[in-house]
Structures are given as structure tokens and as C-alpha cells.
Amino acid sequence: MMISKTSSLAIGWSQLSHGRTRMLVAISGVSIIVAMILTVLSLKDAVIDSTLQVPRSLKGDVIVLSARTQTILRPAPFPRRFLDRLHGLNGVGEVSSVAIENARWINPDTRQEHPIRVFGLDLEFDVISLPGIDPNEPKLKMKDTIIFDASSRPKFGDVAKHFEREHHFATEVNGRRVEVCGLTHAGVSIASDGNLFTTHANFQRLFPNLGGLKSHIGIVKLTDSSHEQEVANQIREMLGTEARVLTRTEMLEAEKSFMKINDPVDDIMGMIAGVAFFVGMIIVYQILYTDVVNHLPQFATLKAIGFHGTFLLGIIISEGIILSLIGFWPGLLIAHGLAYLSEQATLLPVEITISNMLGVLIAAIFMCVTAASIAVRKITQVEPASVF
Amino acid sequence: MLDPVVNVASLNFSFGTSDLQKQILFDINLTIYPGEIVILEGPSGSGKTTLLTLLSGLRSFHEGSIKLFGTEICGASQQMLVHLRRQVGYIFQHHNLLDFLSARRNVELMFELHPRVDSEQARQRTKEILSAVGLANHLDSFPHQLSGGQRQRVAIARALVTKPNLILADEPTAALDKVTGRQVVELLQGIARSHAIPILMVTHDSRILDIADRIVRIEDGRLIKTTLEMA
């Protein structure tokens, strides 16, 4: 067996650590790039996650939508009789519906009008799992009461702060005086800057001109949720082409892919991460290339003596790997700091997930190794005869 | 008689092709036997260095023959050339030591080419050879901490540590002053003699010609004179 006495890794390390300043510069470069990519990816996840918060909170096993509905965040209405017919089906338990419309909310501080999304819920059934809705159910049953989404954008006024202090907040929605009776956290999306939740009855009071209550999202609970696919098929058959019937899992997947296609945030963030990756590669390349060029006569000598090009490549590649492995950790630390800051600034839950961490670590290694392999081409080109 | 280590016969070599062709070496014949110290001298541009690169298999040629340790290198595979080169110790005009490795590690690095030597043995031999060139106290010094002569001595240790069958030295004194150059060459001579390693040294430093067993002069690409001084 061949045992290497001086591995490329050890030599690579010696070469790197010999120029301490240069190594520190390279490591900081990698760290900053790692931090940037990690933060951007986490922010992207946070934005998508926040958009999916409402769909995820729906409690049904099967979701019925209008065939025209592309995303639950912007649902088209369908007649309520669709849902009434479902009661006869085997395996179908509770059936209820959510109505969604945009209303005009007046910020009492500025007297300015802003469109806000109103969810009409049938509170007879347990349809949505958001904090603050169940405990406030009795109050919500009173006339003209609503629950306000505290994650709404600030333009709606200091509702949450005000309500927490005085346990009271009133304003006008669609020209009707309403009373906030509780707060929840649902999250904003491309479809809405703010959300209100109320009962069907109050919903009809806010929208008197719609000609009766329409359904936007049908929520079907099954008696035995293990057969959701079969029941979903039956419902699909019964309702025909006018309805879109999805299991809960299918609905969440559909929402996610809709977001990916239609929300520019995914592309923009992806592009920023891509640019950062590229910049990182250039930084590492520059540093390793300088290193290679400065040692060209020595490398040529080693080649003339009988060292294989691959051994020398190994040295530079090792340097790349070392840089990425060391640079990753400060980068992770910085990313945690940035995640905390952006959480404060955007109110989005920015979390650095293990899978993002691993992904970025692999990307960092790939980045440095690619940079090293480009930098090393100079060595393969060097003519060993030139040292004589 | 022992088999020759180097056997060059009727070697011609040109740079370039067709119209721009310039012939550098003309009908070279040279034989070196084990234990011999041969100096190849001549003015610059006479083709000395080209001959060394040919002997090392770093350039290909088409006319004539070079046998290294009995193996023909004309048309030999790259793998074979590397194999042959690993049996040769090289000393260059510039030491070209890796500045980020200590003297010890620069020398030890050579055992990468000889994987059958275990690391304990490698360490031991490195220490011995560095002591033999008078650097026992500088094992862990980096090149920039050493003088020019000391660096060239590390380079000599590097060339000798793997017990090569031939030493090719390309103007080893060119970057050194007279006294240091002399010392370095005498050191090389001493070690080569005690291990019976033949040396082919290219130089135009007339002050060191006396260490050779034989001096071969090259002028305008032709070997013109062979002085045999062997006893």
C-alpha cells in the first residue's frame, strides 16, 4: 500500500497559512459570501413560508375550489350548492366554506383607505387553525366584530399596539364601523397586505351587495382521513369540471409551485444567491491564482523533478477545500446575525434550516474547488523544461 | 566495465520546424559511467542546457539516441520518462525551494516520488542528508531565513536524499559568490563520491573545473574536446 508522507492537503495548508494576511482575506471573502447566500435563501424561505401560512392553517382533508382558482390566495367564488351536494357522499364529514373578499380599511390615524383581505368563516366548524381565533369566538359572534392580523403591513395603523394597550380598537371597513376583538398572525403575501377574519354573518354585513354569500374555499373533513384520495376522486366526479378538488397535501404543493412561478421573490432571491456564488468564486480564484503564479518556478521545478501534475493540482484544490471549510463557520455565524436582524425588520420568521446550511456548505466547497481548478490550469500549462 | 549510466549517440536536435528550423545540437556522443563526475562547459547559447533537458526527457527529439540507465528515451512513454526522471537528482541554477515549507519538508517532499520508503525512514534520511550538507541546525528554517549558499545546499540535499542513480546539475554555482560556490560544489563532490553517484554538471564557471574527472566542452552545438583526467 502506498502511504503518502506529505499529503497535498498538508502542503496546501502550509502554502495557505504561509501568507497569513492573504489567507485571512480569502477566508473573510468566503465567509461573507456564505453569509450572504445563507441569509438570502433563508429570507426566500421565510417569504414563501409566510405566504403559505393561511393555506396551511386550513383544516380540511379535501379542499374544493372553483375551477378558475389558481391560488387560494386569490380564489374565485363558486356557488354554495356545490358543497351542499357533498353531504350525501360516503366518508364525507363536516363541510364548510370560507368566503374571501377585499374591503376598504381606514387607518384611523391617517384617515387613508387601504384594501384589506377579509375572510368569512363558518365558526360552527373548526376550519382554520390560527392563533387568537378560537379563544375570541364568542366575541366574534357579536355584530361587526373582527380579528385583525397583527402581521399585516404597518400602513393599516398601529392596530396591534393600540389593541394590546387598550383592549379596544375601532375603525371603518367598507364604510361600516367595526370593532377589533382579537389579534392573530396570518402573514402577508403577494395577494394581500393585511388580513381580517370574521364570521359569515359579519362578512355579509360588510359586503351587502354581493347578492348572497358566495364560497371561495370549500373545506371538507372526512370521517376517515386515510381515504382522502378516494373521496377526493368521488367529489371530483360529482362536481365535474367546474370545481377544482385537491387533497390538503396537493393544495399545499400547488400553492408552493404557484408561488415559485408567480412570485418574483423566488427568482430575485435565487439570482442574488447566484451572483453571490459567482463573486465568491472570483474572489477565491483571484487569491489562488496569485498564489499559483507566485510559485510557478517552484511548481515547474517539481514537475521537472518528476512530480505529476495531479499532485500539484491536489495542492491547490486542497487550498480551495480548506478555504471553504474554514470560511463556512464565520459565515454561518454572520448569517445568524443577519437572520435575526431581518426578522426584526420584516416580521417574517427567518430561520436558517439545516438543509439550507448543508446546501450552502456544499455550494461553498463547490465554489472554492471550481475556483481552484480554474486557477490551477496555469500549472498544467507550465513547461518543466523552462526551469533549466 | 560497468554499464554506462548515460549513453548519448549521434544526437541531433533542432528547435522549430521547416523554414524556421534552427539546429542546436550536432552529432553529440557522450557516455557517463557510474561514479564519474563529468563537467559540461561552454559559452552560453552553446546548447548545454538543451542537452540537459533532452537527457531529462523534457523535450522530444527524432535523430539519434539517448539511453538513460540502459533505457532508450527517444519515443519512450510519458510514464516511462517520469519513472526515469525519478531516478535522477536535479540541482538547478536557482534553488526553487518552496518558500512555504521548511528545509526539512522541502527535502522530505521528494519521498512523495518514492512511495515505498516509509515515513519514518524518510524522516531519518532527510535529517541525515541535511546534516551531511551542514544544515543540522537549520532543519526547520524556511528558505527566506537561509543564506544563498545554505539554500543551494538544501537543494543539493533534496537532489540526493532519494539516492538517485545520476545527478544532473545545471550551473549550481551561478547564483553564488566564489567562496560559497566552491564550498557547495566540493560538498556535492564529496557526497557523490562517497555514494558513487555519477554527476553531469553544466557550468561555465571555470573556477570549479578541477573537481571533475572529465571535462566535456561544447561549442556551437558540437562536443569539441574531451579531457580525460581520470587516474
Residue B136, domain CATH? 3.40.50.300
Q: What are phi and psi of A278, to 5 degrees?
A: -65, -45
pLDDT at B17 over 80: no
Q: One-letter amino acid identity for A147?
A: I
Q: Is residue B127, in this structure, part of any structural domain at all?
A: yes
Percent of chain A with pLDDT over 70: 98
Q: How far apart, in whole angstroms, are the C-alpha atoms of residue B74 and residue B219?
A: 24
> Do A202 and A251 reside in the same domain of the chain?
yes
- Per-residue pLDDT tens digits for A42-55: 988 888 888 888 89
Q: Is residue B118, in this structure, part of any structural domain at all?
A: yes
Q: For the stretch A122-154, what's the b/e string if a residue is b when 16 or more beta carbons lie within 10 angstroms of its beta carbon?
A: bbebbbbebebbeebeeebeeebbbbbbbbbee
Q: How do beta strands A195-199 and A112-121 pair? A: parallel
B101–A contact, CB cutoff 8 A: yes
Q: Is residue A1, in this structure, part of any structural domain at all?
A: no
CA nearest neighbour of A72 among A57, A87, A94, A82: A57
> Do A85 and A186 reside in the same domain of the chain?
yes
Average pLDDT, stretch A86-104? 90
pLDDT at B228 over 60: no
Q: How do beta strands A62-66 and B22-32 pair? A: unpaired
Q: Is residue B172, in this structure, part of any structural domain at all?
A: yes
Nearest-Cα distance to chain B for A263, in Å, is: 52
User: What's the confidence (pLDDT) of residue A276?
Assistant: 94
Domain end position, chosen among A262, A287, A314: A262
CA A235 to chain centroid, in Å, comes to 32
pLDDT at B231 over 50: no
Q: Do A298 and B96 touch (CB under 8 A)?
A: yes
> Do A39 and A107 reside in the same domain of the chain?
no
The strand order across the sheet containing B222-228 reads B88-91, B166-170, B199-203, B37-41, B214-219, B222-228
Average pLDDT, stretch A2-10? 62
- Of residues B147 and A213, which shows the higher confidence score? B147
Our count of domains for chain A comes to 2
Q: Is residue B63, in this structure, part of any structural domain at all?
A: no
User: What's the confidence (pLDDT) of residue B1?
Assistant: 61
> Do A17 and A64 reside in the same domain of the chain?
no
Domain end position, chosen among A232, A262, A292: A262
The maximal CA–CA distance of chain B, rounded, in angstroms, is: 56
> Do A228 and A273 reside in the same domain of the chain?
no
Q: Under 8 Å CB-to-CB from B40, ≥6 apart: which residues?
A: B48, B51, B200, B201, B202, B203, B216, B217, B218
- Per-residue pLDDT tens digits for A325-372: 999 999 999 999 999 998 887 777 788 999 999 999 999 999 999 999
From chain B, pick out residues whose CB is under 8 angstroms from the CB of A387. 92, 94, 96
Residue B112's pLDDT band, with cuts at 50, 70 and 90, is confident
Give residue A285's domain range.
8-51+264-387
Beta-carbon contacts below 8 Å between A and B:
76
Q: Is residue A327, in this structure, part of any structural domain at all?
A: yes
Q: How do beta strands B199-203 and B37-41 pair? A: parallel
Q: Where are the beta strands (DSSP E) in chain A?
A: 62-66, 92-107, 112-121, 145-149, 170-173, 176-184, 195-199, 217-222, 243-247
> Do A26 and A174 reside in the same domain of the chain?
no
Q: Is residue A3, in this structure, part of any structural domain at all?
A: no
A308–B contact, CB cutoff 8 A: yes
From chain A, pick out residues whose CB is under 8 angstroms from the CB of B145. none
From chain B, pick out residues whose CB is under 8 angstroms from the CB of A318. none
Give residue B94's domain range.
35-58+86-228
- Asked if residues A347 and A50 have their Cβ atoms less than 8 Å apart, the reply is no
Q: Is residue A311, in this structure, part of any structural domain at all?
A: yes
A21–B contact, CB cutoff 8 A: no
Q: Is residue B222, in this structure, part of any structural domain at all?
A: yes
Nearest-Cα distance to chain A for B97, in Å, is: 6
Element (H, E) at A277: helix A264-294
> Do A279 and A237 reside in the same domain of the chain?
no
> Do A83 and A219 reside in the same domain of the chain?
yes
Q: Is residue B9, in this structure, part of any structural domain at all?
A: no
Indicate the DSSP class of residue A156.
G
User: What's the confidence (pLDDT) of residue A256?
Assistant: 87
pLDDT at B224 over 90: no
> Residue B163 forms beta bridges with which residues?
none
Q: Is residue A356, in this structure, part of any structural domain at all?
A: yes
> Do A117 and A237 reside in the same domain of the chain?
yes
